[in-house]
Amino acid sequence: MQGVIVNFRGSHKTKYDNHMIVKVSGYDTKEKAGKLLEKHVTWKTKSGKEIKGKIVKAHGNSGALRVIFERGMPGQSIGTKVEVI
């Protein structure tokens, strides 16, 4: 299944460059999103490299997810698709 990276996680003072907010289609409540916890996520760069992450928590009440990636994500990743495994 696929999701879309919505934004970095953080406040107006601090941004976590390896924490991302991901929205998966079909998961529109906090309870539905909770079923995806502990699943793995993969984002592919244009050059073909993969950055892997893990879903750790639901974010808010609309079904968004917090994902921690193994290393920092570039700003170009916002709005692109990820694969949920």
Q: What is the pLDDT of residues 17-33, one digit of tens each?
A: 999 999 999 999 999 99
At residue 14 the predicted structure's pLDDT band, cuts being 50, 70 and 90, is very high
CATH of the domain at 26: 2.40.10.190
Which structural domain, as residue segments, surrounds residue 37? Answer: 2-84
Q: Give the per-residue pLDDT at 6.
A: 97
Q: What is the pTM of this model?
A: 0.92
* Domains in the chain, number: 1
Measured distance CA(56)–CA(71) in Å, rounded: 15
